[in-house]
């Protein structure tokens, strides 16, 4: 037997050495080798080893299943650009809770948008939040009128914000927002719609004020398809949303409203923030005709549409329940009258100018077209004492009411509202001694007789003055003047004769008198010369003294200025 070793055996000789059996030979025979000890048999089954792969498979399946189950739904969001979004780095957060991660960022097939595929976290019930009105946006640092937000993204990088919607229909593809929505869906409150003529200085996030308390924000705005109106979506937070009633009026509180109208300069602001950033204010305007027992007006329902007035004064006008149009024809200039200028009845506003136009084309039958001023009058705007409640007024009622008034001189006049601005307004009042007139109910709108306004009457006076001047008979006056001038010539000749007489008779005597006078004057001069000789030198000396004194004073003043202490200490000794 050669080496009885397997390839791993190192020392075959050692194997036998310590055994109890005596090793007599160098190459021990099999009989010399020790026998193994027989121990009790272990009772275990070999198949137990197969539990290991079984457990491993179970663990593997469990781990895989858990990671698949944890994966949650995959959603796709389309953004206009992918600024700050990175695959496997950008997370999706809802209420700052991590609910998913971006797995892939790529361009859409038409290369116009960015398709962001994100994997939501599973087991979080996120599926029920992924509904049709759920919104996504990229959170970046943002500085706006409302404050600074998203500063943490400066360090952590951008993340995708999520605002869960309220619908029940689930959705997996979303359009990402460019800007963060001002109000998230979980904030209690109500959304309303406003229609305005222009955007003003409003923007998304502009505040809504109720009695200068910020109660909401502008969520969005869009131009209506007609291109002439802007539709705002605003949100008023609870509990203020119940103050939005069917009688609420909204107006632009943007910036400073400087209103230079017939009523003079008017500055209206809401708050400093709104001056800078713009805003919308609203207030209730109760129906004055409603009986007070009716209680507060009903709350406006969600998505109620309101008009957004350009300014507070427009918004808070009385309800324009029923207006009547009249046409006023003026032959004079309407410079200073604007559309919207007030129509007043003895100082009480009851309407406004709606249109200023020329009445028809100039032509043979209309050589001097007048200016047609259309006004709308709201009789209900007039607060009336002892009113018996709202009354439905018809044009016939108006006619019954107005015709007797017209007969008593009720006329429409253009008056200057403010001397400073020269704005005109339409004044409805009784004019004394007005020529008889009547309302022409046949036209549409009815034409109300007018009376010349204050300026017109001034012009009339001037015209009559000019007419009087015209009436003066200038020719006759000239003839008379000619005769008068001839008379004057004769008179002058008489005067000439008189003067010659003076020359010969009076002048020689006058000459003597003059010589005497000259003599007297010479005497006077001599006297004065004496005075000059005696008083003059002394006066000169005196003036010289005064001059010296002034010099000394100047020297003293100079010294004192340099040495003010000498006033106290006296002049120091000369160092010499």
Q: Write out the residues near another protein by the rule CB under 8 A.
A: 1-12, 14-16, 18-20, 30-31, 33-42, 46-47, 49-50, 52-53, 55-57, 59-60, 63-64, 66-67, 88-91, 98, 155-157, 159
Nearest distance, CB of residue 178 and another protein, angstroms: 23
CA distance 462 to 456: 10
**In the complex, minimum distance from the CB of residue 255 to another protein, in angstroms, rounded to a whole number:** 41
Following DSSP, what letter does each residue of 300-322 receive, concatenated? PPTT-EEEEESSHHHHTSPP---
In the bound state with another protein, the residue whose beta carbon lies nearer, of 17 and 471, is: 17
- 189 forms beta bridges with 237
* Residue 329 · residue 371 · CB < 8 Å: yes
Shortest distance in whole angstroms from residue 92 CB to another protein: 11
Contact 255, 267 (CB under 8 A): no
Are the beta carbons of 280 and 194 closer than 8 angstroms? yes
Kindly state the smallest distance separating residue 186's Cβ from another protein, in Å: 24
Residue closer to another protein, measured from CB, 51 or 466: 51
Helix (H) or strand (E) holding 327: strand 324-330
The H or E element spanning position 110 is none
Torsion, Cα 180 183 185 186, to 10 degrees, reads 120
Task: Report the nearest approach of another protein to the CB of residue 319 (Å).
Answer: 57
Q: Residue 62 or 430: which CB sits closer to another protein? A: 62
334, 355, 412, 442, 450 from 372: Cα distances, Å: 10, 8, 12, 16, 11
Rounded CA gap, 193 and 216, in Å?
A: 13
Pick between residue 118 and residue 315 the one whose CB is nearest to another protein: 118
Please state, in angstroms and rounded to a whole number, the distance separating the CA atoms of residues 574 and 568.
17
Q: Are 120 and 133 in contact (CB under 8 A)?
A: no
* Shortest Å distance, C-beta 91 to another protein: 5
Q: 150 or 446, CB closer to another protein? A: 150
Query: Contact, 29 vs 16, CB < 8 A?
Result: no
CB closer to another protein out of 17 and 477: 17
| Cβ proximity to another protein, 20 vs 529, nearer residue | 20
Written as six digits, the tokens of 412 are 């429409």
Q: Can you spell out the DSSP letters for 458-484?
A: HHHHHHHHHHHHHHS-HHHHHHHHHHH
Burial class of residue 429 in the structure, from the number of CB atoms within 10 Å of its CB (0-12 exposed, 13-18 middle, 19+ buried): middle
Contacts of 398 (CB under 8 A, 6+ apart): 324, 379
CA distance 96 to 122: 17
The count of other CB atoms within 10 Å of the CB of residue 345 is: 17
Nearer Cβ to another protein (30/471): 30
Whichever of 52 and 436 has its CB closer to another protein, that residue is: 52
Residue 97 or 499 with smaller CB distance to another protein: 97
CB 364 within 8 A of CB 263: no
Please give the angle made by the CA atoms of 89, 103 and 132, to the nearest 5 degrees. 110
**Beta carbon nearer to another protein, 18 or 572:** 18
Is beta strand 189-196 parallel, antiparallel or unpaired with respect to 135-139?
unpaired
Q: What 3-state DSSP class applies to 251? A: strand
CB of 137 to another protein, least distance (A): 17
Q: Cβ of residue 211: shortest distance to another protein, in angstroms?
A: 44
Cβ proximity to another protein: between 120 and 208 the closer is 120
Sign of CA dihedral 86, 88, 93, 97: negative
Q: Which is nearer to another protein, 37 or 436 (CB)?
A: 37
Q: Is the peptide bond before 444 cis (omega within 30 degrees of 0)?
A: no
Quote the least distance from Cβ 29 to another protein, whole Å: 10
What are the tokens at 42?
A: 């272990």
Provide the minimum distance between the beta carbon of 94 and another protein in the complex, in angstroms, as a whole number.
15
CB of 19 or CB of 366, closer to another protein = 19
The least distance separating another protein from the CB of residue 90, rounded to whole angstroms, comes to: 8
Residue 282's DSSP bridge partners are: 210, 250
In the complex, minimum distance from the CB of residue 161 to another protein, in angstroms, rounded to a whole number:
14
* Cα–Cα distance measured from residue 112 to residue 116, given in angstroms and rounded to the nearest whole number: 13
Least distance (Å) between residue 55 CB and another protein: 7
CA dihedral 51, 57, 60, 63 (to 10 degrees): -80
Least distance from another protein to the Cβ atom of residue 28, Å: 8
């Amino acid at each position: 037997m050669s080496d009885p070793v397997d390839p791993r055996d190192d020392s075959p000789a050692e194997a036998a050495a310590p055994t109890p059996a005596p090793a007599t030979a160098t190459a021990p025979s099999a009989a010399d080798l020790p026998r193994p000890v027989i121990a009790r048999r272990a009772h275990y089954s070999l198949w137990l080893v197969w539990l290991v792969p079984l457990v491993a498979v179970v663990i593997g399946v469990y781990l895989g299943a858990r990671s698949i189950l944890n994966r949650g739904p995959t959603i796709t969001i389309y953004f206009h650009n992918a600024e700050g979004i990175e695959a496997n780095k950008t997370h999706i957060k809802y209420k700052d809770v991590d609910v998913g991660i971006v797995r892939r960022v790529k361009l859409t097939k038409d290369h116009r948008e960015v398709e962001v595929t994100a994997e939501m976290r599973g087991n979080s019930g996120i599926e029920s939040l992924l509904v049709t009105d759920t919104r996504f946006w990229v959170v970046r640092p943002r500085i706006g009128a409302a404050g600074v937000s998203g500063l943490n993204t400066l360090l952590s990088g951008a993340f995708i914000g999520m605002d869960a919607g309220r619908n029940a229909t689930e959705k997996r593809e979303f359009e990402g927002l460019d800007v963060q929505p001002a109000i998230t869906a979980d904030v209690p409150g109500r959304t309303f719609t406003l229609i305005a003529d222009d955007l003003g200085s409003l923007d998304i996030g502009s505040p809504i004020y109720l009695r200068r308390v910020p109660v909401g924000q502008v969520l969005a705005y869009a131009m209506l398809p007609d291109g002439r109106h802007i539709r705002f979506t605003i949100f008023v937070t609870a509990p203020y949303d119940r103050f939005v009633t069917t009688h609420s009026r909204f107006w632009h509180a943007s910036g400073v409203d400087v209103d230079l109208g017939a009523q003079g300069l008017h500055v209206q602001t809401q708050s400093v923030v709104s001056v800078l950033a713009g805003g919308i204010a609203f207030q209730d305007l109760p129906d004055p005709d409603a009986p007070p027992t009716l209680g507060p007006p009903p709350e406006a329902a969600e998505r109620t549409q309101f008009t957004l007035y350009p300014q507070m004064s427009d918004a808070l006008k009385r309800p324009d329940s029923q207006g009547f149009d009249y046409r006023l024809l003026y032959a004079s200039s309407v410079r200073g009258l604007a559309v919207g200028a007030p129509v007043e009845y003895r100082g009480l506003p009851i309407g406004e100018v709606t249109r200023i136009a020329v009445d028809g084309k100039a032509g043979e039958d209309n050589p001097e077209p007048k200016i047609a001023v259309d006004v709308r009058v709201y009789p209900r705007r007039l607060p009336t004492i002892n009113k018996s409640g709202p009354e439905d007024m018809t044009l016939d009622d108006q006619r019954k009411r107005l015709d007797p008034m017209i007969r008593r001189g009720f006329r429409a006049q253009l008056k200057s509202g403010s001397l400073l601005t020269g704005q005109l307004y339409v004044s409805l009042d009784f004019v004394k001694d007005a020529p008889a007139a009547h309302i022409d109910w046949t036209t549409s709108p009815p034409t109300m007789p007018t009376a010349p306004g204050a300026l017109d009457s001034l012009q009339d006076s001037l015209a009559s003055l000019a007419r009087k001047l015209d009436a003066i008979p200038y020719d006759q006056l000239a003839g008379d003047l000619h005769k008068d001038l001839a008379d004057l010539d004769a008179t002058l000749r008489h005067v000439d004769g008189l003067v010659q007489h003076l020359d010969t008779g009076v002048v020689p005597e006058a000459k003597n008198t003059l010589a005497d006078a000259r003599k007297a004057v010479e005497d006077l001069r001599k006297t004065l010369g004496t005075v000059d000789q005696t008083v003059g030198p002394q006066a000169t000396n005196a003036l010289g003294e005064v001059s010296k004194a002034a010099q000394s004073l100047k020297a003293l003043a100079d010294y004192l200025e340099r040495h003010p202490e000498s006033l106290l200490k006296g002049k120091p000794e000369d160092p010499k």
